[in-house]
Amino acid sequence: MSAAAECVIGNRSLSDFDALIVGSGAGGSAAAHVLAQEGWTVLVLEAGNNYFPGLDQPGKLPWSDFSGDEIKMPVRGLIDQDPALEPRTFRNTDTEVARAHPDVNVLTRNVGGAAVISTVSYPRYSVVDFRIASALRAANREFPGTSFVDWPFTYADLEPFYCETDVLCGIAGVSEGPGSDPYASWRSRPFPLPPPPDMYAGRVLANGARRLGYTPFQYPSAVLTRLGVLPDDDRAPCVSCGMCSHFGCPRNAKGTPPVTALRRALLTGKCQLRYNCHVARLRLNASKTRVIGVEYFDPDGHLATATADRVVLAASPIESARLCFLSDPDGAGVGNSSGHLGRHLMFHFQPTVAGFFRQRLHGERGRSITNGMSDFRGVTEGGEALHPERPLGGVIEFAVSSEPILSAMEGLQALPAAKLLGLSLKDLLVESPFQAHIGVLAMMGEDAPQPTNRIDLDPNVRDVYGLAVPRVTYRNHDFELAMAAFYKPKMLAILEAAGAEYGVIQPYNSAVPSTSRHIMGGLRMGSDPRASVCDPYGKVHDVENLYCADGAVFPTGSGYNPTPTIIAVALRVAGNMVYPGQPEKVLRYAAAG
Amino acid sequence: MRQDESGWNHMPLTRRHVLQLMAGAAAGALHPRLLARAGTTGAVAEAAARGFLTSDELVILDAATAAILPTDDLPGARDIGVVDYIQSLLTFMPGTDANCDRFVTAADVTAIVTQAHGQAPRCADAGDVNGDGAVDPADVLAAEAAPFAARPMFGGGPFSGRNPQPHFPVGTTPCAQCHGARPSSVPTGGTAATETVTLYPPNAFAQFTPLNRLQRLSWRLRILGADALPAVMSNPLLAELPEVDLRRRYRDGLAGLEAQSQQHYGKPFAALTPAQQQVIFRESDARFVDLLHRHVIQGTLCAPEYGGNRDRRGWQLTGLDGDSQPLGYEIYDPSVPGFYRERSDKPNRGPNPDEDCRGFSTDMKRFLSVISRGAGGGQFANPYCFGVDG
């Protein structure tokens, strides 16, 4: 049986599309939601497989095909991009030959994208993030080689879309008072859901932070903690099963893109999702001013085409930029008259410390991350300005090891040392220092944009489709390295205050690509077509009907998990497609008044 | 083509059918079950009957995994079934679930036979076990080991059946019509706080998760190596990836252990003392020895549906509970403040009830002290256990 015929959900009878969206992750799903709600016909093409049976059926959402099965997900990598079939290459600078590397910050391939296996930690960016270049300049903080710019809109412009995101995804958090983040910026509406209970490890680390005068908070997360509250009350509540980070949720308690925005789009009858469809290139007119559609490999591996009046890139930054390069026979890249395509690529820089505690912290229970702190973000309370003494860092997640097999396999690196001291693999498994007794502080540190950190095509390596693979050229700036040096000892001190017996600092190795999974930039947006790829509403300057609605448009990266901002920006991009100049007209949950 | 479920079960399969089909096929490899009769007994013979590695190879593997995780007063690799995990991993191929029912049983051999006779497959790649693009007698040969183990390569979802479905108050039962939530697993009502939890969902972990084209290709690559790949690829990374070409790596790696053992000690690997086996590990291919260690860990801590972690001994060894859905560690209960009730046996928010805060053994402390000093940190002066003694 042809797989191509099977891998379609939503309205299968649609054939003329107002918009075609490449990718069903956070950005693509949000855009599909807006456009379909507004009556546009939408085709979503997704490279990965679908694990959400009944996603397009009304009523209660069925359980997913995911499970708390560590072999299936992180170990054998059911939905991981396989570096053997789809490699990427990496180097630090343009003068080196890039080498294929098994993990150049790859995201999963599946309906819903990488947010499906995230802990859905969904804090907002701050007021100052949207005018960060001005703030740094005013403070006489200069970083040669970086390309900080202000965003082409303000926090206030985006705030209604953040509120829409809160309800659409069902974000649980503490809006004010104890348990809230004092460094978070103002919100016009409270979180729609209360946070679920804190897990033990989160409480242990928060206690350490509090002892040193810091202000830990309950991490805003898109987990369903109340039935009967959200407008679309079709999912099951979170039960803190523990297998959260790196796992899809079997009960859809995580408010991930497919079970929220994409599902809403599919239920309108205006949206069709074709999965296992890998887009190979955009098709443009001869003058490259209009995109006509895309060519893609269908589920059987045959090349197919799809057309639409508008095309939205939402394949995640590295793949969206790659697609622009693959689609230009002249090689310069679609939308690259500015020369900025693929540039200003950002990952979050993640200084990480780990403590070994005497007691079992049982990180395999709970949601992997329930607490964090923003004291090292380097901004003032309310996120309005730069902190006068602290460098720009990032939010810190209080994390655990919720993946016993991965932890034990990573522990193999230390086995030779353990053997010298008379310990065996069995001792490591039974006493479980690397899993049961470990508490982790991981910062989502701001990563300075640099024009030299970029995506282009590798001249030598081809993937399973015969397409040139993305080449990532990336080197950390002193901006991040100095920040990390400043904060790491303070992070160790928190472990000590929390009662840890030993503390370690994760080593930094510039030769190894980041595995932050927070990927931003490459199609940076701005008002000046000579200095940006997309306009302030995500439209590619050079192409009249090509848009981008993923993290690629971010001009800077902030120091918070990017996903809710990707969603808010995508809602705004799609809103502006429907109502030019008045994108907020598409707001349903957060409409003014 | 008959699409109804029952139609497939009506197709009779006899040994004669299979032999007739095989008669036309080129002579294949010796059937693993025939090899299994070569003389070994017990667990090794049982595993040999299940797939790729021969009984001779399994004797070496059994000894090697036991050397990595020996049995003492606590269970080791032999008790946990690590060999079974590895044999299952090396044996199964996409397409083995030929009737596309998400299970691998004898009925799949029937389905392959019917497809070889011209019947259309019910799902992509069904029946093409050896991945040569056609369903033919060779696939029967390739699949015939499968019904004896039926291990998934990627287990199904959502639940394993090891944990009960908590009761929900009337009107809040989520997903009464859910996929996988068969009627027997769905509570009919009652109040959450008082009812005894007795409903267990069916085990979906034992199912085969359907794969797309790339996922199948990816799996073939891991088991069979680069020969499984199309020519359009150019990927210098292939040779470096740890889990590619596993059959060859095991065949060569086990032979290497044996050869080194004979050369160094003049004895089979399985006959060496534990200390001698460690010497052979150090003298052998480091990548294979590392792969063995990784697979011992996987086979110890995997869900039991993958063949290892027999009777959950691996989880018990490390103090883990394994998967916890659909119960979880916080029961949603609108009748209590905060709407969540934690379990007294496995608290989420605080230390274990029996936590004594004694911490690590002397040897482990020495080890952690060394590695933490080596990693930019160190030992802290006043450790304590929040919620227990501080």
Residue A218 or residue A60, greater confidence: A218
What pLDDT is attached to residue B198? 54
Identify whether the C-beta of residue A191 lies closer than 8 Å to the C-beta of residue A166: yes
pLDDT given for residue B187 in this prediction? 38
The answer to whether B366 contacts chain A (CB < 8 Å) is: yes
3-class DSSP assignment, residue A100: strand
Taking the CA of residue B226 and the nearest CA in chain A, the distance in Å comes to 9
Contact B318 A198 (CB under 8 A): no
At residue B167, the pLDDT reads: 60
Residue A417 CB neighbour total at 10 angstroms: 13
Beta bridge partners of B346: none
| CB atoms A72 and B339 under 8 Å | no
Average pLDDT over residues A261-267: 98
Compare all CA atoms of chain B with the CA of A65 and give the residue at the minimum distance: B157
Which residues in chain B (178-207) have CB-CB distances under 8 A to chain A? 178-181, 204-205
Query: Is residue B29 within 8 angstroms of chain A, CB to CB?
Result: no
Q: Across the interface, do A358 and B177 touch by the CB < 8 Å criterion? A: no
In order, the DSSP letters of A285-307 are -TTSSSEEEEEEE-TTS-EEEEE
Pairing mode, strands A217-218 and A88-91: unpaired
Query: Whole-angstrom distance between the N-terminal and C-terminal Cα of chain B?
Result: 70
Using the beta-carbon criterion (under 8 Å), do A199 and B349 form an inter-chain contact?
A: yes
Question: B317-355, pLDDT tens digit by residue?
Answer: 999 999 999 999 999 888 899 999 999 889 999 999 999
Q: B177 CB contacts (<8 Å, ≥6 apart)?
A: A59, A60, A62
Residue A1 to residue B121, Cβ atoms within 8 A = yes
Q: Shortest Cα distance from A557 to chain B (angstroms)?
A: 28
User: In the prediction, which pLDDT does A162 show?
Assistant: 98
Residues of B in contact with A84 (CB under 8 A): 218, 221-222, 229, 235, 237-238, 241, 244
**Hey, is the C-beta of A360 within 8 angstroms of any chain B C-beta?**
yes
Nearest CB to B359 within list A236, A248, A501: A501
Please tell me the distance from the alpha carbon of residue B174 to that of residue A227, in angstroms, as a whole number: 9
- Look up tokens 């009502």; give the residue: B189
Q: What is the mean pLDDT of chain A?
A: 96
Question: A461, B229: Cβ pair inside 8 Å?
Answer: no
Nearest-Cα distance to chain B for A130, in Å, is: 35
Report the residue of chain A nearest B376, measured CA to CA: A505
Length of chain A counted residue by residue: 593
Gap between the Cα atoms of A347 and A516, Å rounded: 6
| Parts of chain B with a pLDDT under 70 | 1-50, 144-150, 167-198, 228, 230-234, 390
Query: Which candidate, A224, A243, A242, A223, places its Cα nearest to that of A66?
Result: A243
Q: How confident is the model at residue A151 (pLDDT cuts 50, 70, 90)?
A: very high
Q: What is the value of pTM for the model shown?
A: 0.93
Percent of chain A residues topping a pLDDT of 70: 99
Element containing residue A273 per DSSP (H, E): strand A271-274
Q: Which residue of B has its CA nearest to A233?
A: B174
Interface test with A, best of B301, B316, B384 (most A CBs within 10 A): B301
Residue B32's pLDDT is: 38
Higher pLDDT: B152 or A208? It is A208
Identity of the amino acid at B194: T
Which tens digits make up the pLDDT trace of A465-475? 999 999 999 99
B-facing residues of A in 72-111 (CB < 8 A) are 72, 75-76, 78, 82-87, 99-102, 109
Rounded Cα gap, residues A398 and A439, in angstroms:
7
**Judged by CB atoms within 8 Å, which residues 200-259 of A form the interface with B?**
200, 203-204, 207-208, 225-228, 235-243, 248, 250-251
Q: Which of B178, B213, B218 sits opposite A3 (nearest CB)?
A: B213
Q: Quick check: A592 pLDDT over 60?
A: no
